[in-house]
Structure formats: structure tokens, C-alpha cells
Structure 1
Amino acid sequence: MPNRWASLMVEKAAVGICLCKWDGRQFMVEEANPAFFQIIGYTKEELGQASFLSFLSAEYRDWVLKRPEFFEYDEVLFSEERWTVKHGHQVDVELSLRETVMDGVYYYIMVVRDVSDKKWILRQGTGYEVSGTLTTKFRFTDCSLHGPLLDLQRKDLLAQPFLSFVGSKHLLQVRHSLRQALLSASGFSMALEWVHNHRQADMEFRFQPLLNGRQEVTRIAFVGKCLANGQTREPSGIAVTLRMLMAERRMTATRLSELTGLSMGTISKMRNGKITNPHKYTIQCIADALGVPITELWRD
């Protein structure tokens, strides 16, 4: 294979590829492709010749340092880690290390894949009929069906945009909420009607935008479950308005918590419609932080 094709494959790969040199104490980063720098958030100039160990949480670092002792030539070591990258952002990754020798020097080829979406889905527990990830254009990049759902198959989901399965009653609201989630990088829950082949099911979805090391939303993880016995959970008017105002101001839940003194739990529940009748003082604090009249959020 010509060298230019090999270079092109590395350059355009969707996974991070990095060449490290082991100096007896550290895995020093020698070269890396764009996907690797996207995962960690740093540019090549910012990173310099740093060790990838600096991305690891302290609990993993000592363990990783012992690994070269167990390498045999051409052996591949697989691992799952949580990296702390630029600005303290944490990314769940799968990585593999393979030893090789060039010009008498030992190097390690590292392949890194961001699996934050899969880890988030696992943390949501069980009982969901469907889960997966969407692109920022709301197309499925991955999905799994965990039970019978309107006779759907995985290939049906991958062939069409997510919004094509949303009933007309909720379509505009879902599209708006997903767009706002991209702007605010904040997750939300929503009840909606799921439609396929003239059949429908009332479902509740959770959506979570996922960031790379550059604080860019790269995809949206989701889980969806059927609501039992026709149960509905429409978000309150306050929840929809709060999400919209926060998105317009690019304000995160963390920042709003700092400005208001309210807990992250309270703000999260209000954004997701789980607190439908908050105290007037709470609304006033939020309105002041957002720079809007209380009447934007409160109706006597």
C-alpha cells in the first residue's frame, strides 16, 4: 500500500491514533492524528511532548505505570479508562497499546475510542426499550433495541432520521428541544409519541449531549422506554421556558446553580419538569440570574 494511503487512513480515522515512546518513566506522545487531539481537547502545539498519563485519574495512573513490565513483543494490551482532558473535562475511553521497535527504540501504538455514550447509557440502568446515539443532525449513529417495540428492527432505525419516528403532536417541540440541547450541552427528558407503520407508543426519552475535549457536542446519547398504562409526562411550561432561556444565554446548569445558590438537583428537576410548582422565591432567583422578569417564568 502506498505511504500516502496509509497516511490518509490515519489522518481521517474516526478513532484517535497516537505514537508514544516509553522512556522508562512515561509514555511520551510523539505523533497523533486529528481524532486523538479532538478527544483530549489540546492542539498539537499545546500538548507538546507530554505523557498521556497526565490525562488519567490518579486512581489509574500507578496501575498503568506498571504495565510495560508485562509487555511481550507485539502483544496488544486493551483497557477502559476515564481520562481527564482539557479544562478538567472527563471522557470515557477504550484504548489499546501495542509495542513495536523502530531504529532500536521501543514505541507504543495507541488507539483510543471515546465511549462516553455507552457509559452514559449503562448508568441509566435497565428497563429501556431503545437506546443509542444521534449525530448533531439527529440521525442514528448507533442504536439497540432491548425489547419488542412496534415491530421495529435495528436496521429500520439506522435507515431513517430520529425525528421521522416522532408523532406530529410532539415533532416541533422535540426538534426545538434537541436544538437547544446542542446549544446548551444540557440533557433533558421528554414524553413523546413514537410512531412506526401506523402504530404508536407513548414513550419517555432521556437525551444527553456528549462533549469532546474541546467542549464541542459531538453526538447525543439517548434512552427511551414505554410509559405504562397510558401514563403521560409532559414537561411543565416552566421546564420548557427554563431550557429555552438557558440555551439562548448558553448557560449551563452548573453556572445557573452558582448564580442562584440553588442545588444542581433542584435545577435539573425543574428543567426536566419534575418540579412543576416551585416556590416563588426560587423562580425569582432564577429570573434574576437569567436577566428576565419573573413573569417570564411565573404565572400567579
Structure 2
Amino acid sequence: MTIYDTIFRAFQSPMAIIAGMEEKMRFIRINDAFMKLVGYSEKELLVTSPIVLFSAWHTQIGSGHARAGSFLLQLKINRSLRIRLTWEPIVNKEESTFLLIGEDITAKTWIEMMGKSRKVLLSGLVSKDNIIERYLQNDFNSLIDDELQVEDQSFFDFLIEDDKDRLNRILEQAVLRKQADHFVVHTKKLANMTQLELHITFCPFYYADGSLKNYGFVVTDIQTVMERVDPSVSLKILMARNHMTAQQLAEATGISLQTISKLRNSKIIKPQRLTAELIASELNVSPKDIWPLHSS
């Protein structure tokens, strides 16, 4: 094996080199990560056309325009994965040759689909060992303090003790059934936040060989569980549940964006009555639901 082959096979990104076009298209080099991605051995891939694996991909690679796209990967075990493929031509070859890079985006696609069918406040990916690999707040508001480290932490570290065993059992059943599950958990007090009740949908995802890869999750509702809650926290949660940005709230109420920001950051503890009434009305609550010091 040459130094080039050794380096190519060692790359962690799934990569392959293909040659030919249409029915003559074939794999000529494959690294270990690519074999893990597609679930085929090197021997199998060398006698398998890329067209067989990736539906509709060959029509795009031959167009000469697009060099990336999302495709279904047909697996041996009667399942499919959603794969993002990127390809670059390799010059100075007697026949058309391309470097192919693959990425499993099945979980990411699921999160995007969930966001289209319902309101998603938080989302992310959790490893099979329960470590948060990716964490996304929605585009509307920052609910969790930016100083709070979320990624690379155990998901269970944020939960109260009573919920940990229950969640473990739920996840084990979801993995066995190979389907998503919805449940409610309660957090510890997070940074400058109160305790929260999270309505979460978890979905397990798998490698091509059927072994567990990670989980995707979406949080579709958030509620506070303590009687006394910082008004700024209540405001942030209500705005998120209504999918409303600070700019949108300012425009809807006629209140300055600066005032909205100060209310969200506890720089104004008790707003004027009219301000409280306008904001509460837009969020479909009573002023005292946000600022208890205001009478109804």
C-alpha cells in the first residue's frame, strides 16, 4: 500500500474515488469511513455501481453543474439513509474521475421535518453514550444562557435525579422499537434560569450495519415548574412558545426594541403598566403571568 493509499484510508470523513460515467461508473478506491457509512466491504463496493447505492445521483454528476446534493442510500437491511454527497472532478485522468465525500444527514433531516410540522424550540443530537453532540436553539430567542456549556455534556447532567432512570428506560425501548418517543422531563436549575419542564421527542438513528449511532431530539414545549420565576425568564419562554423575536414583539406592540431587550435581560424588573399590558396581550397571557407585581 502506498503512502497515498494509507493517508486516504485513514481520513475520518467518508471518501471514495469513482471513475467512468453512466453504466460504466465504478468505485476504484474507498476509505474505511466510507465503508462504515454505506455498510459494504471494499470487495463488495469494487463490484457495485455507485448508481445502485445512491438513487438519482448519477443524473446530477453527469450534468456538470451541481457538485453536492442529498440522496437516499439503499442499505442491505431493507432500510435507507439520507446522505449528503459532495463530488469534485479529479483532473489529468484519461476518463472522468471524481472524489466523492459522503455525510449521513438522516438525523438532521428528521429534525428539519419536525420543525416544519410543529413548533420546535430546541433541538440537537445526542450520542449513544448520551453526550450532546450538537445543540441548536431556534432562530427566535436565546432561552438558555450563552455562558452555559451544553455541547459535549451528558444530557442526563441537566435533569433532576427522579427523571434519569425513567428516561433511560424510555430510550432503551425506543432503540428496540426503532421509533421515536415523546415524553416530559424536568431540568435542574440551569445557570440564571429556573427549573424547566421540557416536552421532548427523541428518535434513535443507526449506522448502516444496524447498530445505534445517536439520537435526534426536539423540544416542542417549555414550561416553568417553580412558583416564583424571574420575569425575564417567563418573558423569554413565552416569546419562544409564540415563535416571536424581540424585533417582532417591538413592532407588534410599538415598544422600543431597547426596552424589550432590557426586560429580557432583567435590566428592567417592573415595566410600566401599559408596557406590561401590551406585551402580555401580544403573548396571550395576563401581565401578572409575567410580572407578578402587576395586578390583573
TM-score w.r.t. length of structure 1:
0.65
- Quote the Cα distance in structure 1 between the aligned partners of 2:171 and 2:145: 23
Aligned residue in 1 for 2:13: 15
Compute the displacement of 1:50 (Å).
1.5
- Quote the Cα distance in structure 2 between the aligned partners of 1:92 and 1:82: 5
Instruction: Give the one of 94, 113, 123 matched to 1:104.
Output: 94
Q: Which letter maps to 2:165?
A: L
Distance verdict in 2 for CA 1:41–1:222, change over 3 Å: same
Aligned residue in 1 for 2:133: 141
1:187-220 Cα deviation digits (max 9, x unpaired): 2111111231372111111111111221121111
Distance verdict in 2 for CA 1:10–1:173, change over 3 Å: farther
- Quote the Cα distance in structure 1 between the aligned partners of 2:74 and 2:222: 37
Aligned residue in 1 for 2:211: 216
- Quote the Cα distance in structure 2 between the aligned partners of 1:207 and 1:173: 14
SS in 2 for 1:86: coil
Indicate conservation of the 8 Å contact 2:21/2:62, yes or no: no
Matched pairs, number: 219
- Quote the Cα distance in structure 2 between the aligned partners of 1:154 and 1:22: 51
Aligned residue in 2 for 1:244: none
Instruction: Give the one of 116, 127, 131 matched to 2:119.
Output: 127
SS in 2 for 1:15: coil
Aligned residue in 1 for 2:220: 225
- Quote the Cα distance in structure 2 between the aligned partners of 1:108 and 1:154: 43
Compute the displacement of 1:85 (Å).
2.1
SS in 1 for 2:165: helix
Aligned residue in 1 for 2:59: 65
Q: Which letter maps to 1:162?
A: F
SS in 2 for 1:170: helix
Q: Which letter maps to 1:87?
A: I
- Quote the Cα distance in structure 2 between the aligned partners of 1:90 and 1:154: 39
Q: Which letter maps to 1:211?
A: Y
Distance verdict in 2 for CA 1:224–1:13, change over 3 Å: farther
Alignment gaps of 5+ in structure 1: 231-300
TM-score w.r.t. length of structure 2:
0.65
Taking only aligned residues, the RMSD between alpha carbons, in angstroms, comes to: 2.6
Instruction: Give the one of 63, 77, 88 matched to 2:67.
Output: 77
- Quote the Cα distance in structure 2 between the aligned partners of 1:21 and 1:159: 39
- Quote the Cα distance in structure 1 between the aligned partners of 2:124 and 2:9: 27
Aligned residue in 2 for 1:290: none
Aligned residue in 2 for 1:95: 85
Indicate conservation of the 8 Å contact 1:129/1:149, yes or no: no
- Quote the Cα distance in structure 1 between the aligned partners of 2:142 and 2:64: 47
SS in 2 for 1:124: helix
Indicate conservation of the 8 Å contact 1:80/1:93, yes or no: yes
Matched, 1:178 2:176: no
Alignment gaps of 5+ in structure 2: 226-296
Identity %: 15
